[in-house]
Amino acid sequence: MRCRVIIEQDEDDVFIVECPSLPGCISQGKTREEAIKNIEDAIRIYRKFKGP
């Protein structure tokens, strides 16, 4: 199942990424690519414990 995510860059140039359809599922990374990898991991863990 695919999820839409929102990526924003903060004032410290860190990328913040969240999945609005999964409450509280938020991650970050130093690069856009790292942030995307981190949110993929966060989504996988979220679904493991919270369900689809």
Res 46: pLDDT: 94
List pLDDT tens digits, range 3-51.
899 999 999 999 999 999 999 999 999 999 999 999 999 999 999 998 6
Res 52: pLDDT: 62
Question: What total number of domains does the chain contain?
Answer: 1
**Does any domain span residue 24?**
yes
**Does any domain span residue 28?**
yes
CA-to-CA dists, residue 52 to 9, 33, 41, 44, angstroms: 28, 24, 14, 10
What is the Cβ-side half-sphere exposure of residue 16, based on CA atoms within 13 angstroms?
A: 9
**Does any domain span residue 1?**
no
